[in-house]
A and B are shown apart, each in its own frame.
Chain A
Amino acid sequence: MSIEPMKLFFKEIKKPIKTAMIGNYAVAGGITQTDPDVICAFPITPQTQSVEGLSDVVYQGRLKAAFVNVESELAAMSYATAACASGARTFTATASQGYLLMAEALPMAVGWRLPLTMMISARAFNAPNLSIWNSWEYVLIDFGWNCIVSENVQETYDAAILSVMISEDSLFPTMFVHDGFIISHSVQQLTLIPDETVRKLTPKKMRPTIDPEYPGTWGGIVTPDFFTEGRLGLDVAKKPVLGIIDDAFKRFKDATGREYNTIETYNLENSSKTAFITMGSMCGNIISWMTKNKDVGLIKIRTYRPFPYDELQQIVQENDIEKLIILEKSDSLNNLLPPFAMSTATALYPLGTLFRCFIVGLGGRDVTRDELDIAKKKMKHVMDMKGQLYTYLGARESANKLHEVEL
């Protein structure tokens, strides 16, 4: 039995096709077009259909790839890392607890400079209760993977192809993220890229791999005489990655006409000199809301890692932004700020821009005009950087009483 939406990818796509499908199948299609050699992943809601779709194209003979079933996410990441080290173009995908279970094996692909590609359907982790719905778990672990965040189905399809380009150009692993259910399970319109164009964008290139003709030990133990140099070497190698990502975006635009940037801005020349800053599907909510709220702008971060520190400063400075409203779908309980806000705050420190972080949309709670209205209103009264810099929005304190919001 085959999966209906994947049928489009069974044949050579000769010209752009306008269609509609869910985020996960779109990713499966995009990855199919990049011609991976090994696909190894363990199913977890809401990531499942991406790997299911790929199993279908492999079964149909459309994709000549090894589809490997493993017993856990730790095994999936270990297997994918090793396959990638042996020279295979490799794809894996996960979410939530699966991502946390991978944690032990995640730094290896970075350290070994492997162009591994992973999709994440962002989902909450389990504490204090289990939730299969959307939060940003991917911001919690910071091992040096490149990270591209998508707002909608078209972007996540394109990100699948872009991530393969970025991985192989930078020789660092890349994860691309869409919000679980909100994008992974929503049917949205998108335009597919012809196979020939994808082939030209993602040529298979020579790179250092495990080679039986030239044996060596990968990941062997080193004394304190060597470890620091290894880490410094990685950090130096990471510096050009933002430029490599920009270059990939540019080549992608030349080939497809769709323009992407590390940071995208909307309506920053607004009267209140205030802007939202966030990532992912919430940007769409804000853009729709902004059709009636023209006094606020939006800064959308697409490249979350490496964080575009200089570019964000430049944008805030050039547009004279005085206040930033950080919207974040994760919390840290660390008495500082949650991870995305902490990254943003670090970049804003030299500028002294006023900001507050609002934690919204945890565990699949919808982010609506209510949250955006109240965040805007609260920001009007912010005149300094004293006190706690974050708050939960849209959370019940007790029945019929919202936390820090007058009803």
Chain B
Amino acid sequence: MLTEKQVKEILKDHCLNLRFHARGGQGGVTASNLCVESFDGYGVCQPKFGAERMGSPTESYVRLSANYDLVRSNEQVYVPHFVSVLDDSLLSEVDVTAGMPDGGWLIVNTTMNQNEVGMTIANKNLNIATIDATNIAMEVLGRNITNTVILGALIRVSHLFTIDQLADAIMTRFKGEIAGKNVKAIKRAFEETCLYENPGGVEIDFKTDTKVPWQQVSLSLPGYKELDPAGVWYCDNKIMRVGSDQVNTGSWGEWNIVWDEEKCTDCAQCWFICPDFAIITEKGEDGKFHMKGINTFFCKSCQNCIEICPVNAIHKEPKQGPGSCAVPEA
């Protein structure tokens, strides 16, 4: 693990890059903002550009350096040295270690131990830090908001800024009792973080640029010669893997939506109101469409169908397992 002095030396000639993985609504962007505000030097923070929706996997990036010219680049972060994962259900859904150099630190909010986290990761030269931030947040803040808590673990492994600097940034951003509680939670996270350094003792090599050349161009996708000449997405020929039917909106929600075939009258009101075509229907022998179930790949548990169903044939049950409480209740 880098010492505080080593980090100071590295920052003179290099950028240290952070990446936060969270779900929309968990405050990953706020966490990265706080890093910039706490850091004594130059820093920028970018969200992953595009539309962020409640419960969807999100990413945000931070670049920090003592050299302004290095931070001045508006390039995206390809080689994150420290990656923080706010929700361990993302481990199976997103490649959280993408681009991480050997010797980088992966910080996960989880109740799993390092072996269980390590099972999900291909690169064995990474260091892993685990912290049960959800538990700390529930006990100290009284709410499942882990974005500030995980920064305590980040400070422990990165030495990019101190708890006091972070406390100042939090005091400026949040007012009153909640600010004090956040600082308390961060101090506890700093103490309770479990560290597992890679067995080979590999350290980050800052001299080598490990960005994959032309990574930003996604080389494996079809080129202009293979795409439709008018950019049309035809339903049967999926050359361009885009569109909402490619998005696993089902992973965003915190409820399982359950359909009761006995009560259902096939009125199709749920089919019309569903924003993600998650209601499965089939044409029967009578020539009419009948409801057959709910597509869990698309259903994000918005609960519109529950609201509209006139015979209460649809109800919700909490999801089980990791990520079951993905987004804090407002």
Q: Which residues of A contact B (CB under 8 A)?
A: 4, 20, 45, 128-129, 132-133, 151-152, 179, 181-183, 185-189, 281-282, 284-285, 287-291, 364-370, 394-403, 407
B283 to chain A, nearest CB (A): 32
Q: A291 to B69, Cβ gap below 8 A?
A: yes
Q: List 16 contacting pairs A-B, 8 Å CB cutoff, sorted by A.
A: A152-B74, A185-B49, A187-B44, A187-B45, A189-B43, A189-B44, A285-B75, A287-B69, A288-B75, A289-B73, A290-B69, A368-B75, A396-B222, A399-B220, A403-B223, A407-B213
Q: How far is the CA of A179 from the CA of B76 in the complex (A)?
A: 14
Q: How far is the CA of A189 from the CA of B36 in the complex (A)?
A: 8
Q: How far is the CA of A366 from the CA of B222 in the complex (A)?
A: 18
Q: A399 to B33, Cβ gap below 8 A?
A: no
Q: Which residues of B contact A (CB under 8 A)?
A: 32-33, 36-37, 42-47, 49-51, 67, 69-76, 78, 173, 209, 211, 213-226, 230-231
Q: A179 to B211, Cβ gap below 8 A?
A: no
B34 to chain A, nearest CB (A): 10
Q: B73 to A366, Cβ gap below 8 A?
A: no
Q: How far is the CA of A369 from the CA of B33 in the complex (A)?
A: 25
- CB < 8 Å neighbour of A400 from B43, B71, B213, B220: B220
- CB < 8 Å neighbour of A399 from B47, B173, B221: B221
Complex interface: chain A residues within 8 A of B74 (CB): 151-152, 179, 182-183, 186, 281-282, 284-285
Q: How far is the CA of A402 from the CA of B226 in the complex (A)?
A: 13
B16 to chain A, nearest CB (A): 14
Task: Decide: A395 near B73, CB < 8 A? Known: A366-B216, A370-B216.
Answer: no
Task: Decide: A186 near B226, CB < 8 A? Known: A288-B70, A394-B216.
Answer: no
Q: B73 to A285, Cβ gap below 8 A?
A: yes
- CB < 8 Å neighbour of A185 from B47, B211, B231: B47
Q: How far is the CA of A291 from the CA of B73 in the complex (A)?
A: 11
Q: A20 to B33, Cβ gap below 8 A?
A: yes
Which of B37, B73, B219, B221 is packed against the most chain A CB atoms within 10 Å?
B73
B12 to chain A, nearest CB (A): 12
Q: A370 to B213, Cβ gap below 8 A?
A: yes
Task: Decide: A398 near B219, CB < 8 A? Known: A4-B173, A189-B43, A284-B73.
Answer: no
- CB < 8 Å neighbour of B46 from A20, A185, A287, A402: A185
Q: How far is the CA of A399 from the CA of B230 in the complex (A)?
A: 18
Task: Decide: A187 near B224, CB < 8 A? Known: A285-B73, A364-B49, A394-B216.
Answer: no
- CB < 8 Å neighbour of A394 from B44, B45, B67, B217: B217
Q: A370 to B214, Cβ gap below 8 A?
A: yes
- CB < 8 Å neighbour of A396 from B46, B47, B78, B224: B224
Complex interface: chain B residues within 8 A of A45 (CB): 51
Q: How far is the CA of A310 from the CA of B226 in the complex (A)?
A: 45
Q: How far is the CA of A207 from the CA of B143 in the complex (A)?
A: 57
A266 to chain B, nearest CB (A): 10
Main secondary structure of the interface of B (DSSP, over half): loop
Q: How far is the CA of A27 from the CA of B74 in the complex (A)?
A: 18
- The 7 tightest CB contacts between A and B, nearest first, are A128-B231, A288-B73, A396-B223, A181-B49, A398-B223, A187-B45, A366-B216
What is the chain A residue whose CB lies nearest that of B172?
A19
What is the chain B residue whose CB lies nearest that of A181?
B49
Complex interface: chain B residues within 8 A of A282 (CB): 74
If A396-B224, A399-B222 are given as contacts, then 17 extra A-B residue pairs at C-beta distance below 8 Å, sorted by A number, are A20-B36, A20-B37, A183-B74, A185-B46, A185-B49, A285-B73, A288-B72, A289-B73, A364-B49, A366-B76, A395-B224, A396-B219, A397-B224, A398-B225, A399-B221, A402-B214, A407-B219
Task: Decide: A187 near B72, CB < 8 A? Known: A129-B231, A394-B216.
Answer: no
Complex interface: chain B residues within 8 A of A4 (CB): 173
Q: B43 to A394, Cβ gap below 8 A?
A: no
Task: Decide: A133 near B49, CB < 8 A? Known: A20-B33, A370-B214.
Answer: yes
Complex interface: chain A residues within 8 A of B45 (CB): 20, 186-188
Q: How far is the CA of A231 from the CA of B36 in the complex (A)?
A: 50
Q: How far is the CA of A281 from the CA of B44 in the complex (A)?
A: 13
B3 to chain A, nearest CB (A): 25
Task: Decide: A187 near B33, CB < 8 A? Known: A399-B220, A399-B223.
Answer: yes
Q: How far is the CA of A145 from the CA of B45 in the complex (A)?
A: 32
Q: How far is the CA of A400 from the CA of B44 in the complex (A)?
A: 32
Complex interface: chain A residues within 8 A of B222 (CB): 396, 398-399
Q: How far is the CA of A282 from the CA of B72 in the complex (A)?
A: 10
Q: How far is the CA of A401 from the CA of B226 in the complex (A)?
A: 11
Complex interface: chain A residues within 8 A of B32 (CB): 187
What is the chain B residue whose CB lies nearest that of A282?
B74
- CB < 8 Å neighbour of A187 from B36, B67, B70: B36
Q: A367 to B75, Cβ gap below 8 A?
A: yes
B207 to chain A, nearest CB (A): 11
Which of B37, B49, B215 is packed against the most chain A CB atoms within 10 Å?
B49
Complex interface: chain B residues within 8 A of A367 (CB): 75
Complex interface: chain A residues within 8 A of B73 (CB): 284-285, 287-289
Q: B49 to A182, Cβ gap below 8 A?
A: yes
Q: A186 to B44, Cβ gap below 8 A?
A: yes
Q: How far is the CA of A187 from the CA of B70 in the complex (A)?
A: 16
Complex interface: chain B residues within 8 A of A394 (CB): 214, 216-217
